[in-house]
């Protein structure tokens, strides 16, 4: 005669109730956490039957016939979280090999690294293409292209699942590589201009986002509108170095240097000599003038 049947699961004993015939039953609620991180990825169950005479039969996971039936796999249902930390969505970068950084975290069964995938620029990359750093409940991965990317818009998409097969919502980021130097053409003043006017008209065209103009290091006021810059430059007596520098949205600079000379002083005639004076009719005479400027 059987006295009782008990099972031991998740560190607790549960007493079964006799059903019809030789069947005993008990209902048990599974734990809130996955069995994935348990040894063997399962929760071990022990069944014990005792008769009235005091004989006890215990069956556990090591039992050759029934042991595998006592390996209880419990799966959690919460998908991992993906967060792309760099680049920021919608940004433009001058970097031709921008690093794509993302974290994948999962609180319970953990990130299944074989499912971590980055789709970028028409290719699929896996963890062997990434550098990896452990973070709380997951990993931070970084991917850096090994060739320069042409200027264009790019989208990076990350996928991952946890060890219990829960697939994360994929995350994407779209950004632009813009590494081209801006165009710049200075139409005025001309190179090596010599003038007696203390100001000179400035004009230039550029596809840059901004333009600075300096005369001998002194910033000048120029108005840039619709790709055309205009202004008036103030010159100093003598040689003036005019540096125009256009900067793209991503900080790439193109510059042009012009040299303009301001000369407001008339030449000085300091000596005149006529040989001979007075001269005879029909005689060849020589004028010698001394002039400085
Ligand atoms: Ca999970
Ligand atoms: Ca002069």
Give the model confidence (pLDDT) of 247-289 as tens digits.
999 999 999 999 999 999 999 999 999 998 999 999 999 999 9
Indicate whether 21 pLDDT > 90: no
Q: Which ligand is nearest to the CA of 194?
A: 2
Same domain, 200 and 220: yes
Residue 1, pLDDT score: 87
Who surrounds ion ligand 1 at CB < 5 A?
78, 106, 108, 162
Distance 99 CA to ligand 1 centre (A): 27
Distance CA 102, CA 166 (A): 19
Looking at the domain assignment, is residue 246 inside a domain?
A: yes
Same domain, 32 and 93: no
Same domain, 53 and 122: no
Same domain, 161 and 238: no
Percentage of residues in the chain having pLDDT higher than 70: 100
Looking at the domain assignment, is residue 290 inside a domain?
A: no
Q: Which ligand is nearest to the CA of 262?
A: 2
What's the domain count of the chain?
A: 3
The CATH number covering residue 152 comes to: 2.60.40.10
Distance 41 CA to ligand 1 centre (A): 14
Q: What is the mean pLDDT of residues 94-104?
A: 97
Give the model confidence (pLDDT) of 128-174 as tens digits.
999 999 999 999 999 999 999 999 999 999 999 999 999 999 999 99
Distance 83 CA to ligand 1 centre (A): 15
Looking at the domain assignment, is residue 144 inside a domain?
A: yes
Looking at the domain assignment, is residue 283 inside a domain?
A: no
Q: Which ligand is nearest to the CA of 104?
A: 1
Q: What is the mean pLDDT of residues 212-226?
A: 97
Residues forming beta bridges with residue 47, ordered by sequence position: 7, 59
Domain that residue 33 falls in:
2-72
């Amino acid at each position: 005669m059987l006295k009782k049947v008990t099972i031991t699961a998740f560190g607790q004993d549960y007493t079964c109730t006799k059903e019809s015939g030789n069947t005993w039953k008990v209902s048990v609620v599974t734990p809130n956490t996955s069995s994935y991180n348990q040894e063997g990825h399962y929760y071990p169950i022990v069944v014990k039957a005792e008769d009235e005479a005091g004989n006890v039969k215990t069956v556990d996971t090591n039992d050759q016939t029934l042991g595998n039936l006592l390996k209880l796999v419990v799966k959690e249902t919460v998908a991992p979280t993906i967060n792309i930390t760099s680049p920021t969505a919608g940004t433009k970068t001058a970097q031709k090999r921008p690093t794509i950084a993302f974290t994948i975290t999962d609180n319970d069964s953990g990130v299944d690294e074989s499912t971590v995938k980055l789709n970028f620029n028409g290719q699929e990359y896996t963890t062997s293409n990434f550098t990896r750093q452990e973070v709380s409940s997951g990993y931070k991965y970084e991917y850096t292209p090994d060739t320069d990317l042409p200027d264009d818009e790019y989208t990076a998409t990350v996928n991952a699942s946890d060890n219990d097969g829960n697939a994360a919502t994929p995350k994407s980021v779209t950004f632009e590589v813009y590494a081209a130097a801006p165009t710049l053409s200075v139409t005025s003043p001309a190179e090596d201009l010599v003038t007696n006017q203390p100001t000179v008209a400035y004009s230039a065209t550029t596809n840059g986002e901004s333009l600075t103009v300096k005369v001998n290091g002194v910033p000048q006021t120029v108005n840039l509108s619709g790709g055309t810059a205009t202004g008036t430059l103030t010159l100093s007596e003598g040689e003036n170095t005019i540096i125009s520098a256009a900067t793209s949205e991503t900080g790439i600079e193109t510059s042009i240097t012009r040299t303009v000379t301001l000369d407001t002083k008339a030449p000085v005639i300091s000596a005149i000599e006529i040989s001979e004076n007075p001269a005879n009719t029909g005689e060849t005479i020589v004028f010698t003038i001394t002039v400085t400027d």
